[in-house]
Amino acid sequence: MFAAENGLKGDPRLEAISQAIRVVPHFPKKGIMFQDITTLLLDHKAFQDTVDIFVDRYRNMDISVVAGIEARGFMFGPSIALAIGAKFVPLRKPKKLPGKVICEEYELEYGTDCLEMQVDAVQPGDRALIVDDLVATGGTLSAAIRLLGKRMGAQVVECGCVVGLPEVKGQCRLNGKPVYILVEPREIDNCRHADISSEFLNVQCSG
Amino acid sequence: MVFLLTGIEARGFIFGPPIALAIGAKFVPLRKPKKLPGEVISEEYTLEYGSDRLEMHVGAVNKGERALVVDDLIATGGTLCAAMNLLERAGAEIVECACLIELPELKGRDRLHGKPLHVLVEYH
């Protein structure tokens, strides 16, 4: 579900967040209009608003754990966790987490990858929020939902993402869990920001 | 007054952004190769076996901006040193490095271009 259709219609913060995200054409490969949230992180007000919108939504939902997906989920998850009084759990690529881990496989365009979590991070009965910067096919988020829910017995309350690709629009649930999204991707750039040079914003299309 | 805070992938991304938000700074991620889209500058550093590279976006840092570098842990200081090189090449003025944990016997503190290091805990 999109924030604008769920209580935040016309909220100017959403427009500013959308405009703060830079679009990089043909990254990592031709045809993909990459939604680059690093420009959002450079805009203190828009970054703070992003966190605040999630915090306002989740602070009264009794969330005990926020799980962030490596690596861009780490940029948003901890701030939300701290503000709502939840623990933060990183979900990582294979072989990064020390100690005993569980692993959930998910599909890539070609082949598969694996998402890992430490076994003692989450207890049955924990109420979980999963955070990532962007949801596209939902493959990674689905793996995260399986890790926390099916494998560890936590209750996954919701997934929160800054950007949601059109594939998830209208499709409110992933693995039966709701996905809350702040903005849709933009096509190409009229990203504006006070503190960033125009060269940085206008990424040349290398065709 | 600090204008920007850099965090080193990936555990620096866990601690850096909350600090940046709290102090009103922008957050700049320093990443492994090929993760950042668009134009980047890159700094190589040596590992125990071989080498690695750290990248930063061109244009993320404005000349003269005051910067903090954040990571979870400092060991030999190789990664932090590479991070500082990137920032200085972009014209930033590094104020301090900050880590949760220091392994003091590895003397990473001596590789920080003379800049101060602030740590919360030491592990011997």
Show Cβ contacts of residue A164 under 8 Å, excluding neighbours closer than 6 positions. Answer: A2, A134, A135, A179, A181, A182, A183, A184, A185
- Which of the pair, A199 or A99, is modelled with greater confidence? A99
The token pair at A1 is 């579900």
| C-beta separation of A154 from A122 below 8 A | yes
Are B27 and A41 inside 8 Å of each other by CB? yes
Task: Report yes or no: B11 and A88 within 8 Å, Cβ to Cβ.
Answer: no
Location of structure tokens 């500082």: B84
DSSP string for residues in B69-95:
EEEEEESSSHHHHHHHHHHHHTT-EEE
Per CB-CB distance under 8 Å, the chain B contacts of A195 are 26, 62
Q: What is the DSSP letter of B29?
A: E
**Angstroms from B23 CA to nearest CA on chain A:** 10
A187 CB near a chain B CB, below 8 Å? no
Pick the catalytic residue from B9, B43, B48, B102. Answer: B48
> Looking at per-residue confidence, does A205 or A169 come out higher?
A169
Residue A155 has, within 13 A of its CA and on its CB side, a CA count of 8
In chain B, which residues have their Cβ closer than 8 Å to the Cβ of A68? 14
- Where residue A169 falls among pLDDT bands split at 50, 70, 90? low
Burial of B109 (0-12, 13-18, 19+ CB in 10 A): middle
Closest CA to A106 of A175, A32, A28: A175
Query: How sure is the predictor about A202, in pLDDT bands with cuts at 50, 70 and 90?
Result: very low
Does B115 touch chain A if contact means CB atoms closer than 8 Å? no
**B118 touches B96 (CB < 8 A):** yes
- Residue in B27, B28, B58, B66 to test binding to A, most A beta-carbons within 10 Å: B27
Mean pLDDT by 10 residues, chain B (124 residues): 89 97 97 96 90 96 96 95 97 97 96 96 96
User: pLDDT tens digit string along A22-80?
Assistant: 999 999 989 889 999 999 999 999 999 999 999 999 999 999 999 999 999 999 999 99
Residue in A37, A121, A45, A113 with CA at minimum distance from that of residue A76: A37
- Give the model's pLDDT for residue A171: 64
- Please, what is the Cα angle at A186 between A185 and A189, to 5 degrees? 140
Mean pLDDT of all residues belonging to chain A: 89
CB pairs under 8 A between A and B: 87
Q: Where is pLDDT greater, at A5 or A22?
A: A22
Over residues A14-28, the mean pLDDT reads 95
Place of tokens 């989740």: A58
Q: What is the pLDDT of residue A109?
A: 76
Is A128 in contact with A156 (CB distance < 8 Å)?
yes
| Band of residue A85 on the pLDDT scale cut at 50, 70, 90 | very high
- Select the residue from A42, A196, A206 to test the B interface by mutation, using most B Cβ atoms within 10 A: A42
pTM of this structure? 0.93
Using 50, 70 and 90 to split pLDDT, how confident is the model at A174? confident
Contact at CB, A27 and B9, closer than 8 angstroms:
no
- pLDDT tens by residue, A117-163: 999 999 999 999 999 999 988 999 999 999 999 999 999 999 999 99
The amino acid sitting at B38 is G
Check if B109 is active-site: no
CB pair distance less than 8 Å for A43 and B9: no
Pairing of β A33-36 and β A22-25: antiparallel
Q: Would an 8 Å CB–CB cutoff place B45 in contact with chain A?
A: no
